[in-house]
């Protein structure tokens, strides 16, 4: 039997084409090349087989060609239940059904993983062998994920045809961390640790208005650097000497425009200083904290980077008109 080529890191050019070429029709293999890394990272955090995630994405989004995938970055057909974000309306079970709309497709994958892990309906799945994709496929049907009686067979056929189980093996045997330790690491966020993780080029110390809670830390599959989470779960890194946006885009399998958008980089301003916070997921419209004060003067743009909150949202809730507006030292800043 001829072995299919397994691409471990998605092509940067393919990622760019995937986002900007709405007219192109994508194949199953192209979908796998684009999203295998995301599925493996989520497997290491949420303990859902990457093969299952990829197969469901292929099936639910038509290889990423569906209207929901293209227009709403929704690859799993998740509806609006208790959703406060942007929405897309489309005929489905009912006319004008409400579906979740995401700023980036990566957030759709994360939401799908959290949907399964946080629902009691799917609790039995997590008692199964994580390498047993057949049991997972059947378990999804038994838990009521889909009404199609052939749903397990459809998933299994996709997994075996594309050899998606190889990605389960890669994630489980990730040489950088043992799987069980990768679920979620926690480090004590002392003032010294927090200052190091959130230092800006100015090296000014950030003072929290409330006691700092423990901060979750995740390890990116295939990477060598630590990633952090803002309080609103937006993922970021702390820049190292020699980093550029182009280099980071390649490292984290993003397009240059994508990572620049995540960090509000405009007008050719692509310089990065050691210690800068670089967001590798889209910023959200609010933080989990209501207010914060800082020692030192900061622009709204700098605070946006420190907190993972959109510049426009910070301007609106604080009654400001420009991302260059200065927040004075000791002044309370609303974050939601």
pLDDT digits (tens, 9 = 90+) for 118-176: 889 999 999 999 999 999 999 999 999 988 999 999 999 999 999 999 999 888 875 44
* pLDDT attached to residue 125: 95
- Taking 50 as the threshold, does the pLDDT of residue 214 lie above it? no
Verdict on whether the full-model pTM lies above 0.85? no
On whether the CB atoms of residues 221 and 174 are closer than 8 A, the answer is yes
Mean pLDDT of the chain, nearest integer: 78
Q: What angle do CA 62, 16, 64 make, to 5 degrees?
A: 5
Q: What CATH number should be reported for the domain holding residue 153?
A: 1.10.530.10
Which domain range does residue 200 map to?
A: 184-334
100 shares a domain with 200: no
User: What is the count of structural domains for the chain?
Assistant: 2
Asked whether residue 268 is domain-assigned, the answer is yes
258 shares a domain with 124: no
104 shares a domain with 32: yes
Domain boundary (137, 172, 207) is at 172
φ/ψ region of 64 (left if φ > 0, alpha if ψ in -120 to 50, else beta) reads left
Q: Among 17-21, 161-165, 235-239, which stretch is predicted with the lowest mean pLDDT?
A: 17-21
Q: Tell me: the pLDDT tens digits for 22-37? A: 457 889 999 998 898 8
Asked whether residue 167 is domain-assigned, the answer is yes
Q: Tell me: the pLDDT tens digits for 178-204? A: 333 333 333 333 233 333 444 443 343
Asked whether residue 179 is domain-assigned, the answer is no
Q: What angle do CA 66, 70, 74 make, to 5 degrees?
A: 80
Phi, psi of 211 (to 5 degrees): -55, 140
* pLDDT attached to residue 158: 96
Q: What's the Cα-to-Cα distance from 230 to each of 53, 104, 121, 184, 303, rounded to whole Å? A: 25, 17, 29, 15, 12
195 shares a domain with 78: no
């Amino acid at each position: 039997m001829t072995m299919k080529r397994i691409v471990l890191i998605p092509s940067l050019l393919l990622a760019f084409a995937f986002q900007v070429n709405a007219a192109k029709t994508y194949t199953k293999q192209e979908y796998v090349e684009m999203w295998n890394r995301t599925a493996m990272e989520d497997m290491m955090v949420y303990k859902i087989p990457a093969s299952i995630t990829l197969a469901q994405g292929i099936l639910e989004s038509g290889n990423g060609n569906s209207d929901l995938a293209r227009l709403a970055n929704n690859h799993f057909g998740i509806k609006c239940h208790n959703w406060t974000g942007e929405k897309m309306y489309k005929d489905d079970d009912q006319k004008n059904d409400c579906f979740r709309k995401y700023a980036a497709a990566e957030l759709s994958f994360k939401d799908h993983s959290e949907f399964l892990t946080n629902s009691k309906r799917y609790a039995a799945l997590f008692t199964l062998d994580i390498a047993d994709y057949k049991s997972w496929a059947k378990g999804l049907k038994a838990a009521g994920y889909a009404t199609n009686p052939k749903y397990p067979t459809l998933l299994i056929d996709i997994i075996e045809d594309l050899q998606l189980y190889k990605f389960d093996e890669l994630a489980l045997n990730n040489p950088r961390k043992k799987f069980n330790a990768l679920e979620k690491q926690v480090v004590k966020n002392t003032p010294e640790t927090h200052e190091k993780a959130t230092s800006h080029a100015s090296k000014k110390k950030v003072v929290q208005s409330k006691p700092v809670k423990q901060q979750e830390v995740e390890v990116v599959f295939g990477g060598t650097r630590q990633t952090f989470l803002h309080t609103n779960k937006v993922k970021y890194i702390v820049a190292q000497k020699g980093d550029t946006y182009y280099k980071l885009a390649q490292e984290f399998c993003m397009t240059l425009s994508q990572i620049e958008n995540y960090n509000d980089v405009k007008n050719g301003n692509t310089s990065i200083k050691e210690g800068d916070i670089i967001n590798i997921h889209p910023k959200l419209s609010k933080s989990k904290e209501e207010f914060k004060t800082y020692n030192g003067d900061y622009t709204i743009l700098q605070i946006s980077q420190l907190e993972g909150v959109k510049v426009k949202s910070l301007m609106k809730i604080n009654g400001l008109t420009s991302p260059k507006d200065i927040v004075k030292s000791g002044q309370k800043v609303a974050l939601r």
